[in-house]
Amino acid sequence: MWQRFPAGVSAFVLVIGILYNTPAAAMGLDPAFNQDLLGPERAAGVVVWSHGRSMTVEDAEAATPPFLRILRESGWDILRFDRPRDGDTLTDSTRRLIDQVAGLKHKGYHRIVLAGQSFGAFLALMAADASDDVDAVVATAPAAFGSFDEFYGSWRLNAIRLYPLLEQVRRARVMLFYFHGDDFDPGGRGERSRAILSEHGLGFAVVDQPAFLVGHWASSTGLFLRRFGGCIRDFVNADTLKGELVCQPVWGEAPSAQLLLPNELFPPRATALVAAPASGPSALDAPTPGRGRAEHDAWYGFYPNGRELLVAIEAVRGQEVVALYAIGPGIDEDEPAEWTRREGRLVDDDFVFEGNGKSALRFRPRADSGLKATWISPDGKTSMEASLRRIDPRQFSRRVEAR
């Protein structure tokens, strides 16, 4: 007997079916979003999402990951395989998932995709091994055997038990995501997975340690939707794919047209007079003290929630700073793009912007001429950080004028 430890939000518990004396609760399929389903005749297909498993909360109550929205918008029906913790074992839950897949096929869905996170990713792969009705699998951060810190003895099983699943996939295309900083990832799974899947003659995709996405739950962020939603959509729609689909996200490489900027990015009156600091890296790479600058300085990046940001220093006079701050739209409709001019101050080498009823902003220079950005909500309860790279603002002036 070997131990199975499911990966979830925090701590993990032993889950071997024989340990439970009571039967598992009924496990059905629920709509993933608050809207009507298209149905087998109209939908491009159906996606069944399987959540993770935690010992402290019911993951069935967790929100559906945002990246599935892009599949919904592409005409797919999206369902959730919600499972109560009690009785949620790999064996029992996989059997129920296989039954659900058969039911969906019987209803007339001509394409069926299984998607899952962590424990749910293992379920999706196991069901694909056992059923010829599964066309594709999208598995993010697959893990079912515990973390490095809490269950070191079984942690490596997240790799050892994964590879046989990949080897046994019958006909489904498989897409895998592994993230940097995942406590449940023993490492090296990307290369081994690619080697296994490349021998099947089926379509596959392996995204290993993608930039900017960190941690076990990276796929639940708006940033993941922005950078990989399109590639996931292309993969599940690629019925004739043979070999590897390589995802090359372009979102976030340069400011998009969704960023709102003023008609004139820098007003004529704004001339930055910057004094060079005595020591340390300068965010402005300032000229000789007192000399004016013909150009301005701007930086671009994005927050973990998938919103772009651009900050442009328009004037620095003594310790006073004037900057344009723009953020792109969020992934929800109530998060429009917006821009504002903020007045702040220099604190050492940092640009600091504060004000009653406004979010606090702090930009700290890095040695590579970029900035570390920190955003704090007006009530001080939430914060986000971002890494910004220096850009030439003149191209955005031309872009805005061309609109």
Give me the pLDDT at residue 55, please.
Answer: 61
Do the domains 17-244 and 297-401 sit in the same CATH topology, yes or no?
no
Whether the pLDDT of residue 278 is over 90: the answer is no
Ranges of beta strands (E only) in 161-319 are 173-178, 203-208, 243-244, 297-302, 308-317
Neighbouring CB atoms inside 10 A of 61's CB total 8
Give me the pLDDT at residue 134, please.
Answer: 97
Higher confidence at residue 26 or residue 317? 317
Give me the pLDDT at residue 87, please.
Answer: 79
Greatest Cα-to-Cα distance within the chain, rounded to the nearest angstrom: 79
What is the amino acid identity at position 56?
Answer: T
SS3 122: helix
Q: What is the mean pLDDT of residues 326-330?
A: 96
Give me the pLDDT at residue 151, please.
Answer: 63
* Local confidence band at 49 (pLDDT 50, 70, 90 cut-offs): very high
Whether the pLDDT of residue 401 is over 60: the answer is no
Residue range 75-127, pLDDT digits in tens: 999 999 988 877 788 899 999 999 999 999 999 999 999 999 999 999 999 99
Residue 327 near residue 337, CB atoms below 8 Å = yes
* Local confidence band at 135 (pLDDT 50, 70, 90 cut-offs): very high
Q: What is the mean pLDDT of residues 22-43?
A: 77
Whether the pLDDT of residue 289 is over 70: the answer is no
Q: What percent of the chain has pLDDT over 70?
A: 80
Q: Is 42 exposed, middle or buried (0-12, 13-18, 19+ CB in 10 A)?
A: exposed
Give the CA angle between residues 367, 372, 374 to the nearest 5°.
160
Nearest to 203 by CA among 246, 267, 162, 258: 246
Q: Which residues of 300-329 are buried (b: 16+ CB within 10 A; e: fewer)?
A: bbbbbbbbbbbbbbbbbeeeebbbbbbbbb
Give me the pLDDT at residue 261, please.
Answer: 85
* Local confidence band at 58 (pLDDT 50, 70, 90 cut-offs): low
Residue range 344-357, pLDDT digits in tens: 999 998 999 998 88
- What residue segments make up the domains of the chain, in order of their start? 17-244, 297-401
**Measured distance CA(230)–CA(228) in Å, rounded:** 5
What is the amino acid identity at position 129?
Answer: D
Give me the pLDDT at residue 264, please.
Answer: 64
Asked if CATH classification 3.30.56.10 holds for the domain at 17-244, the reply, yes or no, is no
Neighbouring CB atoms inside 10 A of 399's CB total 14
DSSP strand pairing (203-208 vs 173-178): parallel
Give me the pLDDT at residue 11, please.
Answer: 31
Give me the pLDDT at residue 170, please.
Answer: 82
**Measured distance CA(197)–CA(241) in Å, rounded:** 13
DSSP string, 156-197: THHHHTHHHHHHH--S-EEEEEE-BT-TT--S-HHHHHHHHH
Q: Which CATH architecture has domain 297-401?
A: Beta Barrel (2.40)
Q: What is the mean pLDDT of residues 303-315?
A: 94
Q: Rounded to 5 degrees, what are φ and ψ at 237?
A: -85, -10
pTM: 0.84
Nearest to 64 by CA among 35, 96, 97: 35
Q: What is the mean pLDDT of residues 237-261?
A: 93
Mean pLDDT score of the chain: 84
Sign (positive or negative) of CA dihedral 159, 163, 165, 169: positive
Give me the pLDDT at residue 283, please.
Answer: 46
SS3 359: coil
Whether the pLDDT of residue 3 is over 60: the answer is no
Bridge-partner residues for 204, per DSSP?
A: 174, 244
* Local confidence band at 56 (pLDDT 50, 70, 90 cut-offs): low
Least confident of 54-58, 137-141, 295-299: 54-58
Give me the pLDDT at residue 60, please.
Answer: 64
Higher confidence at residue 48 or residue 152? 48
DSSP strand pairing (243-244 vs 203-208): parallel
Q: What is the mean pLDDT of residues 35-62?
A: 85
Q: Which residue has the tokens 């899952």?
A: 116
Give me the pLDDT at residue 1, please.
Answer: 24
